[in-house]
Structures are given as C-alpha cells and as structure tokens.
Chain A
Amino acid sequence: MTDRLWEFVTFAYPNIKYVVLGSILLSISSAVVGCFTFLKKKALLGDVISHAVLPGICLSFIVSGSKNPFLLIIGASITGWISIVAMDYIVRSSKIKEDTATGLSLSVFFGIGILLLTYIQHSGNAAQTGLDTFLFGNAAALIGEDLIAFSLIAVIILVVVYFFYKEFKLISFDTQFANTLGLPVRTLELILTSITVLAVVTGIQAVGVVLMAAMLITPAAAARFWTNRLSIMLTLAAIFGAFSGITGAYISYASPSMPTGPWIVMVLSIIALISFFFAPGKGILIRVFKQYQNQRKFLGENLLKVFYTLGESNQNFLSYRSQEELMAKRAFKESTLAKGLTRLSREGFVTHHRAQWALTKEGYEKGKRIVRLHRMWELYLTEYLKIAPDHVHEDAESIEHVITPELELRLERLLDHPSVDPHKAPIPQKQQPIINNEQ
C-alpha cells in the first residue's frame, strides 16, 4: 500500500498525473459553478444538463460521423443548453411548477438520447463504440489530450467567474435588486447557464451522467454549512472538490477495480454529511442542542410565571402550591412539570416542602420580570401597532422569553412607565415589595 502511495504522490507514471490533475481541475471548476446554481436554488440544473447532453452527442455523431471530441462537446453543449431554456420557458409560460419541468426536461431529453444511441448502435456503424462512455464516465482513462481540454475549460470557467464575480453574486442573492441597478440580468443568467453547461459537458466524461449533479451540488451544499460569506464558500467548495478529486483518484489507483468518479462523489458526500451534522452554528447537532436548551429555558420561565400569577390571585406570592394547582393554571405534562420543578429548585428559584413548591426570592424576581415583559409587550402591541387586545397574548407568549434588559428599558420609556396592561391586569414594577399575606 505504501509503495502505491509513494508511486501516487510522485506521479511515477504519467497516467497518474493525468488522472489526478484532470480530477482536481474538474472538481474545482464544477464546485465553483455549483455554488452559484446552489444559491440560485437551482441545484438540480446540473442534473438536467448532464442528462440532456446525450442526444447532442448522438446527433453530432450522426451528422459528422466521427467521434471528434470537440464536435461532440459542441453538440452536447447545444442540447444541454436547449434543455435549460425549454425548462425555463415551460415554467414561465404555463402553470407547470419548476420541479415538474425539471424532471420532464431531464427524462425526455435523456429518453431521446437513449433512442438515438440505440439507433446508432443498431445501425452497425463500427465507429460508434465508446460513445456510451459518456453515460458512465471513465476518469481512469483520461489521457493527455483530455487534460489539455480540461485545463482549458477550467481556466475559462474560473476566469469568467472572476470577472463577473460581483454580478453573479447579485443575481444569486437578489435578482430584483440587480434588475433595479440596471444590470442585464437575463444576459448574466445566460452566461452563468453557459459556464454550467461547459462544466457539465466536460465533467461527464470523467464521472458520468448521474454523478455529475453531485460534482456541482455537494461541495456547495457542504461549504454553505460553514460560512455566510460567498468568497469563503467558493474557496471551501473548491478545496472540498480538489480534496475529493485527489482521494478518488488515489483510491481507484490503489485498488484498480474501483471506479474513480463514484469514489470522488463518495468522498464529497462524506464531507457533506460531516458538515451537515457537525458544522458549528448551522450543523444539525448544534441546532438540536440549541433547541433543547431553549425548550428548557422556556419551560422554567413559564413555570415561574405561573407561580407569580397564582400569587397575584390570592395576594400571596411565596405560598406553597401543589403540582395540581400549577397544572390547573397552565396545561403542563406531569413528567415535564416534575422535571422543570426539580431543575428550578436546583437553580435556586423554587424550594419544596414535601410535594408542595414555592418561589424563592430569586424565583419571585424572575417570574415577576417575565410577567412584566409579557404585559408590557401586550400594551405595546395595542398602543403602537393598534392590534386588538384579544389578539396580543399569543405573540407576547413567545416574545417574553427573548426580550433583553436593554429592550425592556426602551419599552418602559416608550410606554411611559405603564401600570396596567390592555386586559386591566397590573404590570408589576421593578421595585415592588413581595406581598406575602400568610406571614
């Protein structure tokens, strides 16, 4: 294995060099283009194009009778391009939705391609053998000429992206704004479509029709989980692409029965899965954890609020109450309630005596604050947004947990230190003695 690795990194045979460089160039250029189609929410564009090139390849073979790679690429680009234009036209001028138009364009063009391919194969033309490598791709068979074509196209794509960076950025995020700025949006979109077609047409020869979609989408999707900045996203996607290109090429070199293209996609997908789950900020794990934390916080605050309002009704804020009493005021699940109370008592907000629970002084203050925020917000909604008093409760229920002390001050000043909310309930004041009648 180490021998193989050594041969691999030193490019012991020229063929290794071709395959590695070809895979890297291909991966980088499609990753960069893919970022833009991803952001335009047209990630499956690549899938459509890669299926639609087949009829183009067959037609240019039928017309020219040769397998000249340049003629094939031209034919492929033309039908690839038509498929996208047709798809856009269908969506724009009928009630057909985008996903249907995508699938329709993809499968019909591919069906025509298969029909033509079989027609050529059955016609007994000996020159046709090998046309179908376009279908599944064969990165291991890359030769010097392919490398030249790859580098040329990769350079074209990167240069176009470099020069139109600002424009592409605008049309990816806000087409309407780009329009009002007077940018030629349609032309720019055509340019973007054209370099996508170019990336797909060259890529197919290495990884095949189906997996080409992944070369565009997967690095972009993975990169998106790590950053909100386009420039960083492009760089990351290119790095992911290049890394997968090298790894895929190595795996199929070390174990020759293994295909390069699928392994490139496999490595890309693993990077993407890791990003989906573990990326800080946007990863699934961190999201689930934050959600759990919030639920805990909301539960605790809602409990304290219930204690406070119960205290209001019998003018005794610190008296002991049973779980039934709490549940009668607000529908908690019994197990959730028990867990919430235990946690609050650990944090020192409530104390308990047998099965009875009461607020501590800290708990009283915190419960008071939540009720205060809730009622101030209701007042704000009715006074400033003119919302009917019976419509403001739901909104206040959620906002009360997130208002910061600064916002609280501003609300207080804006409402001029209010004392009652729209439902005539008193708004608790900050400096307010604890009423405890039983004592």
Chain B
Amino acid sequence: MNAILIILTGSLVAISCSLLGSYLILRKMAMVSDAISHAVLPGIVIAFMMAGGRDSLALLLGAGILGILTTFLIEFFHQKGKLQTDASIGVTFTWLFALGVILVSYYAGNAHIDQDCVLYGEIAYVPLDVIILDSGQSLGPKALIVMSVVLVLILLFIKVSYKELFITTFDPSFANAVGISATFWHYALMSLVSLTTVASFESVGAILVVALLITPPATAYLITERLKKMLIISSAFGVSSAVFGYLLAYTIDGSIAGAMATVAGIQFAIVFVIMKKVNKARTRSAVLSLESEPTS
C-alpha cells in the first residue's frame, strides 16, 4: 500500500514537472527553474518563522513570492544591468540561498528545518504524514493531496491558456504584436513553477524537482518537436522514472528521490543513443533516395 502511495505521489510530481518543464526548455529557461528551486529557501524560512510552524499555505506563499522575486531579479540584472543571463542566474540564486542558510542558522534553535530537507526531501515519509479531519477520518497523505491540487491547477492552466503559452513560447515578438503580453505569461508560468517547486519540496526535494522539470522534457524533445506530443511523451517518461525509480531505490535501499533522478537520466541516455542511430539511418536513406532518383 505504501509503495503505491509513494509511486502515486512521485508520478504526480513527475507529470506536473514534465508539463511545466516542456515549456521551460523550449523557452531556454531550464536553469531558471534550478535557480528558483534554491532561491525559495529564505521565503520558506521567513514563512516558517511568521506562521510559527509548517503551515503549508504560508510556506507556499513565502516561497511563491521568493520565486517571483528571483525571476524578476534575473530579468532585471540582465535587462537593466546588461549582465549575461547565466551570470545573472548564478549570482541571484546563490545570494538568496546564502541568505536562506544564514536565516536557518540564525533560527537554528527553534526551527525544524534544515538545508538538507530542502535539497533532498524524503518521499519515503509521504504515507506517514496524513491529513486527519476533526471527525477522526483520514483524508490520505498530505503530499498526495497537495500534489493532486497542483497537477489539476497546471492542467487547467495549460488547457485554458494553451494558445497564449504556445505563441509566447515560440514567437514572443509576434505575441506582443497581436496583443498577448509575453511578460505576463512569463510571470504566470514562473509562478506555477515556484508553486510546483515548493509543493514538491517536502516530498522530493529541490534537486529532484529540477531533474524532473528538465530531464523528461529533454528526453521527449529528442523524439519530437511538436508541443502536444512533447507534453504527452515527457509525462510518460516522468511517470516511468517514478515507477522504476522506486523499484531501483527499493532494490539497493537508497534515496527514492535520487533513484528517480537517476532513472530519468538513464532514460535520457538511452533515447539519446537510439535517436542518434535513427537520425543517422534517416540521413542515409535520404541520401540514398536522392542518389537513386533518375536524373532526367
């Protein structure tokens, strides 16, 4: 039963991440998600202190605000200060992460948070943390419920604003020309990324979020360039990383989050090699058919 709950939660995280990640890598913003996943730390600590405990809503809010702030700062230094994007990302997130660690040390006495729980959460504890109603009835694991809500939000978001996201992703200047604000959709997408990152923290940790945001969509991108297909294929790879990751972790008794990232990486490597072969064969047959064509 526990195994199913863990795999289910992992799959929910994986699908949420794969969907958002597809947009991120097409927008060449993969590293922004890495930055957000680290930079939300001070937001979590401050929210923790102000709410006086692990109030999920406060944590989400604190981290969400920091996520948006990170995106804004990266853009600001890049646009106004003419700092190259990679450096802008690097300076911003390390600064905020350092602030977070300092805050954690400052409150060390009375806080039950530490940086390793942020860096690599433990999905194995998911079944233990259940929401129990006042009537004593159990609603099921908290992480499972939170992630279901997040996934529904993401699906709704993509369903409702598919066209806007599509246009701003592939041709931002055209989008602006027809009156769709690229900036607005940029921040809308980044808000969802922050939300997903924070919601997944407690169960899988920051690094796995990044691994799932980037790796399955990158794998799908190797196979197809059509957005709809890419969303579906990357979700499938996400789910299979969750399933096989759990099995791997169970076999060698290691971290489930780490194993899921590992499996995602192995999937990428396999697809990479296969697609290289396929592309080579395709080029060769194209060349052959060119040569065999009658030259009249």
Contacts and interface: CB of A to CB of B under 8 A. Distances in A.
Interface string A101-112: 111101111111
A115 B83 CA distance: 36
A43 B86 contact: yes
Main secondary structure of the interface of B (DSSP, over half): helix
Contacts of A427: none
Contacts of A262: 97-99, 101-102, 105
A425 B233 CA distance: 62
B215 A108 contact: yes
A115 B250 CA distance: 11
A170 interface: no
B86 A44 contact: yes
Contacts of B89: 43-44
B118 to A, nearest CB: 10
A113 B81 contact: no
A305 B18 CA distance: 56
Contacts of B108: 257
B276 A94 contact: yes
Interface in B191-205: none
Given A221-B91, A287-B80, A99 B222 contact: no
Contacts of A136: 115-116
Contacts of B275: 94
B246 interface: no
B43 to A, nearest CB: 16
A308 B93 CA distance: 53
Given A103-B30, A111-B260, A269-B98, A214 B90 contact: yes
Contact of A107 (B94, B221, B261): B261
Contact of B262 (A97, A111, A225, A261): A111
B95 A214 contact: yes
A114 B105 CA distance: 23
A101 B86 CA distance: 13
Main secondary structure of the interface of A (DSSP, over half): helix
Interface residues on B, range: 35 or more
Contacts of B25: 97, 99-100
B83 A276 contact: yes
B102 A258 contact: yes
Interface in B240-283: 248-249, 252-255, 257-262, 264-265, 268, 272, 275-276
Nearest to A214: B94
Contact of B29 (A99, A118, A258, A283): A99
B45 interface: no
A269 B95 contact: yes
Nearest to B118: A210
Nearest to B208: A111
A213 to B, nearest CB: 5
Nearest to A282: B82
19 contacts: A47-B90, A99-B25, A100-B218, A100-B221, A103-B31, A103-B210, A104-B214, A107-B211, A107-B261, A108-B268, A111-B258, A111-B264, A112-B258, A118-B258, A119-B254, A122-B253, A211-B94, A217-B91, A276-B81
Interface of A: 38, 41-44, 46-47, 51, 90, 93-97, 99-104, 106-119, 122-123, 132, 135-136, 209-211, 213-214, 216-218, 220-221, 224-225, 257-259, 261-263, 265-266, 269, 272-273, 276, 282-284, 287-288
Interface of B: 25, 28-31, 33-34, 38, 77, 80-84, 86-87, 89-91, 94-95, 97-99, 101-102, 105-106, 108, 115-116, 119-120, 207-208, 210-211, 213-215, 218, 221-222, 248-249, 252-255, 257-262, 264-265, 268, 272, 275-276
- The 9 A-B residue pairs whose C-beta atoms are closest, nearest first, are A111-B261, A108-B265, A114-B258, A214-B94, A115-B258, A107-B211, A269-B95, A118-B255, A217-B90
